[in-house]
Structure formats: C-alpha cells, structure tokens
Chain A
Amino acid sequence: MEKSLSWREFIITRLIQSSGYSAILFVALIFFFLLREGLPTLGEVDASSLLNIRWYPIENYFGILPLITGSLIVTLGATLIAVPFGIGTAVYISEIAPRWVREILKPLVELLGGLPSVVLGFLGILVLSPFLRVFLNLPTGLTAFTGSLLLGGIAVPTVVSVAEDALDSVPRAYREGAWALGATKWQTIWRVTLPAAKSGVLTAVMLGIGRAIGETMTVMMVTGNAPVLAVKLGSLFSPVRTMTATIAAEMGEVANGSTHYHVLFFIGMVLFIISLVVNVIASSVVFRAKKRAERILS
C-alpha cells in the first residue's frame, strides 16, 4: 500500500516536472528553428542591402527597415492610445465605480480581450477606414493610424485587466491612510494608489505593447501594406507594412529555401528579439518589485 503510494507520488512529480521542462524545450526549439532558417540571410544578403529602405523581394531588394519602422510606428500609436485609456479604465473600475458597475465592466472588458482580431480587422476595413478617409480627407483610409486605433483597442483589455488586478491588490489601508490625512479621492489615486501599484501597472503596459507588436491579422487588413519607410510624422497617415503582416502575407508564396524565405525568417527573429526585450524589461520590473516586497516582509 505504502509502496504504491510513493510510486504514484513519484510518477505525478515526474509528469509535472516534464511538462514544466517541455515548455522551456519548446521555446528553445522554436528559437533554434528560427535561427537555422533565418541566419543564412546574413550570408546571402549584405548588411547594407538589409538595412536598405526598399522592400521588393522579387527584384532582390530586401531592406527590412520599412517593415521595422512600420511595426514600430503602428505599435507606438497603439501604445499611446491603449495606455491612457487602459489605465484610466482600470482606475475607474477599481477605484471609482460602484460595486455593481465594476461587476459588469470587469467581465465585459475581459470578453473584449477575447474578441478575434480578424473581426476587428473586418470592422476596420468596413467602418473605420472609410470614415477616416472622409473625415481626415486622406487618399486612402488604410493607414498606420487606422492600424494604431484598432491595435490600441485590442491592447486596451490586456492593459485594463492586468492594471486593475494590480490596483485591486493595493491594501485598503493605504487608501484609508491617505483619506484620513485629508487627501481627496483623486489625490489618493494619483499619489498613493497608482505609485503603490506601479510595478503591476508597468507590467500591464508592457504586456499591452507585446500584444500590439505581435498582432498580425488586424494590421494586415487595415494598414494598407505598403512597405514605405515610416519616419516622418505624416507616415502615421499613410499606408505602412508591419513585420508580422509581411511574414503572414508572403510566407505562403515563397519558394522553400530561397533567399526571400530566409529573410522572412530573419524578420521573425527580429520580431522575436523585440518581444523578448519587452518581456525581459517587464519581468525585471516585476522582479525588482518582488525584492522590495521581500524586504518589507523581513
């Protein structure tokens, strides 16, 4: 009896252990595969050509700068929209809204987070972009700005959900302490609750950025897909093409093993590195906060 129990214990422990390790293994394999398919690019295309501003693979122009700037400008726009809205909504839900509003809003926001991005892209093509074309008097409504608006909408639920959790976990005593000193509700939020939840709110922002930069379907549908270097302010209102959209659009038609194929993987690598950097920054912020919490406990 006792023996079989210890056997079961052993098997369960090992199962859990192996599923934990396999997650690491899969990420390592993905990264390895990306490297294997992407790194030959460096042998086949010169660095100067890669850093060119022209992306025209059929004539062997593999400048990835327009794609990187396209991704960055759309993500930046989305961040500028998602962060204030997301944090504002989180503050409203956690600090201001009466209980019954909170109980409706929180699940609603999370539901919004589960909306398939292709549906949003569809709405973007049919509703948002014609509206923007007329409203802003643009030659086309399929612009970086359109993508930013939609991506912002996609990232907002992520930001709200994580930031709200962070605000919610600030001990009630902090707020009471500030109120008892004669701080108003708003002063308490701004100077006490938000700073106390700082690390969680930063994580929310990082996750929101990560969500925006990795998004493919929506941006492919609404940004116009023109690989033009986007560094001017006006670029926001002209078509761009992101890294993700390029991979998604061209991977299906490319000859396996060709230079173009390798370059697409190289773009995937760049994307992987960017989101890795975002994640590392996010988790280092959280890690710092943890250490601080440990210091308080000791």
Chain B
Amino acid sequence: MGIRQNAVTVLFGPAGGGKSTLLRCLNRLNDLTEIKASSGRILIDGENILDPKTDVIALRRKVGMVFARPVPLPMSIRQNLTYALELAGEKRKSKLDEAVERSLKLAAIWDEVKDRLDEPAIALSGGQQQRVCLARVIALQPEVILLDEPTSGLDPISTGKVEAALLELKKEYTVILVPHSVQQAARTADYAAFFLTGELIEYGEGKSLFTVPKQKKTEDYIMGRFG
C-alpha cells in the first residue's frame, strides 16, 4: 500500500480493524506498549522506519500525530506549541513566536486564542484543545500528519473547523486520517483504504471507492449493511 504525498488518505472500517494500530506503527508509538511484534517494512522517503537503527525521536518529529481525545500538555497554550520545538533544539524566540502564530493559524484557532496564549491549555474547550493539539503537531513542520479519530469527541461545528483545517494542511503535508464515521471518510478522502478485522480490503481513490466500490464487503459497509 502506497500513501500519496500532499493528499488526505483515509483509513476506515469497523472497530478492531487495525487502523489505529497501523497509524501507531507509522510513528513507532507501538514500541512503548508491552507487545512488541512487528514484521515487514514501512518505508518513508525510502527508509525502513521499522529498522532498529532508526532514530525514533527524529522519526516522531517527522511524523506527527493527533489523538482521539485532545491531550493538551499541562502547560500554557504557547508552551504546548513551543515545547516540542525547544526539545528539537530551537531556542530563538522570534522563530518560536513565528511558529506559534503560523501553526495556530493553519489549525484555524489563532483568532480564538491569540489574546490568551499564556493561559493553561487545559482551560480551553474540547474543540479548541483539539485544534491546539493539531497546531502543536504542525509547529514541528512534520512531513506526515497522523490523525486518529481527531473529531470523535467534538461537536459538528468544531468538526467542521478541523476538517477545513485538514484541507488547508494537505497542500503542505501528507495527511493520514482515521475518521470517526463513514460520512467523514467520504467528505475528506482523496484516497481511502477499507480495513476489516486486520485486513486491507480495498484501497483506491476516494471518489471512486465511495461511489463504486469494487469489493462487496466495502460496499456493504459503506451502505451501512454491517459494522
């Protein structure tokens, strides 16, 4: 399965299909769970990231991730954004401020928080927190952004804002999204992959996959006949 640059690739399917697990392989977050069994290869820019010699820290800066539940770190909004950059060695204040503004704008939350950057991020609403988390990932200038049901806890308006931000983002980044509904999958997908019980059933361009799926199982799922 190849994933295109500068497009939104959607991984969808019923629960337990291995979508999140696949996402977590892409930034090796699965390393830290108790189970460690992986075989095969994942290539990013021609390099196999499952190679034990891979610099996992650098990989995670290149492949950012947003989780289902917003996880603002226990710091101010500004620090949430600059923390990872500081870890990466960026110290110049002007660069940091620039990154804060740029990524908050891209995540469509700048107007809401620009006057309260030094308040704790936890005081924001759920939808705002999630967009701050998205901005936090953007601030690192990754190549790939992974989103694991980023809107599952959000109201429709916040969801719309996040989705609009994604459309903006795909111009610069490669976006891989696990949506929380088939509708969202259909709305956002340039490319889509359907997973069922750990297997990739169908993978193709979003438009054709959602209108004329080739596989019977995919069609059944999209039509809501199971799952």
Which residues on A are within 8 Å of B, measured CB to CB?
99, 171, 173-184, 187, 191-192, 195-196, 198, 292, 295-296
Whether B73 pairs with A174 at a CB distance below 8 angstroms is: yes
Q: Is B32 an interface residue (CB 8 A)?
A: yes
Please give the distance in Å from A263's CB to the nearest CB on chain B.
48
The distance in angstroms between the C-alpha atoms of A198 and B75, with both chains bound, is 12
Do B122 and A296 touch (CB < 8 A)?
yes
7 inter-chain pairs at a CB distance below 8 angstroms, sorted by A residue, are A99-B34, A177-B73, A181-B64, A181-B83, A182-B84, A183-B57, A183-B83
Q: Given B32, B34, B71, B88, which contacts A177 in the complex, CB threshold below 8 Å? A: B71
Q: Does B123 contact A (CB under 8 A)?
A: yes
Are B140 and A178 interface neighbours, CB within 8 A? no
- Min CB gap A93→B, angstroms: 16
Cβ–Cβ < 8 Å partners of B32 in chain A: 175-176, 179
Q: Once the chains bind, are A182 and B123 in contact (CB under 8 Å)? A: no
B96 within 8 A of A: no
Chain A residues whose CB sits within 8 angstroms of the CB of B122 once the complex forms: 292, 296
Q: Mark B86-113, 1 if CB is under 8 A from A, else 0.
A: 0110000000000000000000000000
Interface string of B123-143 (1 = CB under 8 A from A): 100000000010011001000
Shortest beta-carbon distance from A261 to chain B in Å:
52
**B60 x A191 contact (CB < 8 A):** no
Task: Tell me whether B60 and A192 are in contact (CB under 8 A).
Answer: no
- Please name all residues of chain A whose beta carbon is closer than 8 Å to the beta carbon of B46 when the two chains form the complex: none
Contact A180 B123 (CB under 8 A): no
In the bound complex, residues from chain A placing their C-beta under 8 Å from that of B60 are 179-182
CB pair B87–A177 under 8 Å, yes or no, is no
- Asked if B74 and A196 make an inter-chain contact with CB atoms under 8 angstroms apart, the answer reads yes
What is the CA–CA distance of A199 and B34 in the complex, to the nearest angstrom? 28
Q: Are A182 and B57 in contact (CB under 8 A)?
A: yes
User: Which of B65, B69, B75, B84 contacts A183, CB < 8 Å?
Assistant: B84
A177 partner residues in chain B, CB cutoff 8 A: 67, 71, 73, 133
* Contact of A176 with B71 at beta-carbon distance under 8 Å, contacts A181-B84, A191-B83 already known: yes
Q: Does B22 contact A (CB under 8 A)?
A: no
Among the listed B27, B87, B137, B140, which residue makes an inter-chain contact with A187, where contact means beta carbons less than 8 Å apart? Answer: B87
In this assembly, does B29 line the interface, its C-beta being within 8 Å of a C-beta of chain A? yes
Nearest CB in chain B to that of A171: its residue: B71
Q: Can you name the residue of chain B whose Cβ is closest to the Cβ of A175?
A: B32
Interface size on B, residues (CB 8 A): 26
Quick check: is B157 within 8 A (CB to CB) of the other chain? no
A197 vs chain B, min Cβ distance (A): 9
Using Cβ atoms and an 8 Å threshold, which residues of chain B touch A99?
A: 34
Q: Judge whether B74 and A192 touch: CB under 8 Å.
A: yes
CB distance from A34 to the nearest CB of B (A): 41
A295 to B67, alpha carbons, bound, how many Å?
A: 22
Interface centre among A182, A184, A198 (most CB of B within 10 A): A182
- Is B61 engaged at the interface, CB distance under 8 Å to the other chain? yes
Contact at A182–B71, with CB atoms within 8 Å?
no
- Which residue from A178, A182, A184, A292 sits with its C-beta under 8 Å from B73? A178
> Which 9 pairs, one residue from A and one from B, show the smallest C-beta to C-beta distance?
A177-B71, A181-B84, A182-B61, A180-B65, A182-B60, A173-B71, A196-B74, A195-B74, A182-B57
With contacts A176-B71, A191-B73 taken as known, whether A181 is within 8 angstroms of B58 at the C-beta atoms is no
Tell me which residues across on chain A come within 8 A of B65, comparing CB atoms: 180
Distance in Å from the Cβ of A94 to the closest Cβ of chain B? 14
In-complex Cβ contact of A180 among B27, B58, B74, B83 (8 A): B27
Chain A, residue nearest B123 (CB): A295
Nearest CB of B to A44, in Å: 53
CB of A168 to closest CB in B, whole Å: 15
Counting chain A CB atoms within 10 Å of each CB, the highest count among B64, B74, B75, B122 belongs to: B74
Q: Knowing A176-B29, A177-B67, say if A182 contacts B137 (CB, 8 Å).
A: no
**A180–B73 CB distance below 8 A:** no
Contacts of B140 in A (CB 8 A): 181-182
Given contacts A177-B133, A181-B83, 8 further A-B contacts (CB under 8 A): A99-B34, A174-B73, A175-B32, A180-B65, A181-B136, A182-B140, A183-B57, A183-B83
Give the distance in Å from the alpha carbon of A184 to the alpha carbon of B55 in the complex: 11
In-complex Cβ contact of B71 among A174, A292, A295, A296 (8 A) = A174
**Chain B 43-85 near chain A by CB (<8 Å), digits 1 or 0:** 0000000000000011011001101010101110000000110
Complex CA distance for A195 and B76, rounded to whole angstroms: 12
Cα A272 to Cα B29 with chains together (Å): 50
| B145, chain A: closest CB distance, angstroms | 11
* B87: contacting residue among A173, A180, A181, CB under 8 A: A181
Of the listed residues B87, B123, B137, the one surrounded by the most CB atoms of chain A closer than 10 A to its CB is B87
Q: Which of A99, A173, A179, A187 has the most CB of B within 10 A?
A: A179
- Docked complex Cα distance between A97 and B136 (Å): 29
Within the complex, which residue of B34, B67, B69, B88 is in contact with A182, where a contact is CB–CB below 8 Å?
B88
